[in-house]
Structure 1
């Protein structure tokens, strides 16, 4: 079991780290809303086929509102806000800001699930948010734009944190595989209003950007969520999301190699402070 958990952690960190530069690359041809929607639509189509083949049962009718809400927060809000944020924030810096997700998760778990967060945990949270503030002010030439982008990404992190924390009850009831299928499809349903103009954007987009979105929809959108849901079902929400602290390392390396992005010194210092927190 320990090796399975370790493997699931590794897959989550590697694939989610690759998502940040892929989003940045896809934004060369796609608007943030359409990129997020197309990514989720692709993932939902793949999961629908998977659910039919595996004969996954539908959720109980009384749980449908919760599934829709968690799908909205964990997928529609997260992917849309992250895409808008990466319009003005580099992929590496975005991953550093998203690393606040475990902090939000720990605070929410302490408040609502009574998972204890000691005083050192609250201190660490304050330190980490100071680090995020430093990242937000990492580029003097576009301060307002970067700060707005950082706010978008913090919104994404908060939405994802709600999803990770409040899925625990339903993971026990349905299992990590069916419930993740339910919520990703629910998130895609919440994105239907982005259908307007999507076909035209796909036709105008470069092939390489479309390949990047296809990758996002089929790989980072699906596999890490299954892996993290599996980890959460074993070790709990706070400990499971702690793996996300390693995601920026992968994102920074891939962004440097693929996109040639070199973060500002202040952003790197802020990221280091966030991780220390």
Structure 2
């Protein structure tokens, strides 16, 4: 029973991040893409600012600010805007299947920019995952690609970029510290949206406002905290495997909450995509890897919302 807290943390992370996809659909009603993007990050930033002194979050070094800014731009600002924009046209469950491909782009970018080895397994896994994304994109349009699916796929690309950009920072800061820095930077970058957000809030329904607060406090702020706790205390294989559950849980929550039923072609594409991610991540951790190193490596396999 001593190991139960870490698995409860993993389970909580899966449920929180999965529930974010249908919650976004609710928040878009009344707040719109820009309003929901800024309000969610603002709520999360305030929550993390309250937690930071209690958890020993340090001030970042000046030389790391450009990389932190890149993390905020990709993993927070661009990701939120693209995902929210995509979910205007794409069901929540479909969006979760596409975002699950973020680790593919993380690995490919790490190969290109960080000098990580490109293996046959990575190539095959990437091809399988991209084939799955193509199936989802063409699911309803026949020979036409779904623009909404492409936008969500772009969100997965910037999320993958974020994971790669965090790797150097994770060698100098904790996972929670990096999450705080990126969240605050991302919120600052979206400050031009603040006036429009305030105007939208004046007329937004209570459900949309409640959804934005929920997204900021739970999937964003609490999700990062308990994820960091879990990955520091579990193996890479366990933490990565847990995240494969995000899309099916998101589909189930979207069905119960929104009445969304994904098309069988989308589900088939999702299975292909996740199979590709599984194939890429079937790499053994080096013997004797310490928990901190496992947490850093599992950051490349993370699916966030």
Q: What corresponds to 1:74 in structure 2?
A: 75
Q: Deviations over 1:5-46 (max 9, x none)?
A: 644433322211110000011112221121111100111111
Bigger shift: 89-98 or 149-158?
149-158
- Paired with 2:182 and 2:97, the residues of 1 have a C-alpha distance of 25
Q: Provide the secondary structure at the position in 2 that maps to 1:217.
A: helix
Q: 1:176–1:233: 8 Å Cα contact kept in structure 2?
A: no
Number of residues paired by the alignment? 275
Shift of 1:55: 5.6
User: Aligned runs of 1:48-127 on 2, under 5 Å?
Assistant: 48-54=49-55, 56-127=57-128
Q: What corresponds to 1:45 in structure 2?
A: 46
Q: Provide the secondary structure at the position in 1 that maps to 2:29.
A: coil
Q: What corresponds to 1:150 in structure 2?
A: 149
- Paired with 2:158 and 2:78, the residues of 1 have a C-alpha distance of 6
- Paired with 1:110 and 1:242, the residues of 2 have a C-alpha distance of 22
User: Aligned runs of 1:202-213 on 2, under 5 Å?
Assistant: 202-213=201-212
1:141–1:111 distance in 2 versus 1, CA, 3 Å: closer
Q: Which consecutive residues of structure 1, in runs of 5 or more, have no partner in the other structure? A: none
Bigger shift: 44-53 or 256-265?
44-53
1:177–1:249 distance in 2 versus 1, CA, 3 Å: same
Q: 2:136–2:269: 8 Å Cα contact kept in structure 1?
A: yes
- TM-score, structure 1 as length reference: 0.89
1:166–1:3 distance in 2 versus 1, CA, 3 Å: farther
Q: 1:132–1:271: 8 Å Cα contact kept in structure 2?
A: yes
Bigger shift: 32-41 or 240-249?
240-249
Shift of 1:4: 6.2
Q: What corresponds to 1:168 in structure 2?
A: 167
1:141–1:257 distance in 2 versus 1, CA, 3 Å: farther
1:222–1:263 distance in 2 versus 1, CA, 3 Å: same
Q: Deviations over 1:158-209 (max 9, x none)?
A: 1111211221221221222222111111111111111132112111111011
Shift of 1:51: 2.3
1:238–1:35 distance in 2 versus 1, CA, 3 Å: farther
Shift of 1:236: 9.9
Shift of 1:153: 1.0
- Paired with 2:9 and 2:71, the residues of 1 have a C-alpha distance of 22
Shift of 1:233: 6.4
Q: What corresponds to 1:129 in structure 2?
A: 130
1:141–1:131 distance in 2 versus 1, CA, 3 Å: closer
Q: 1:109–1:237: 8 Å Cα contact kept in structure 2?
A: no
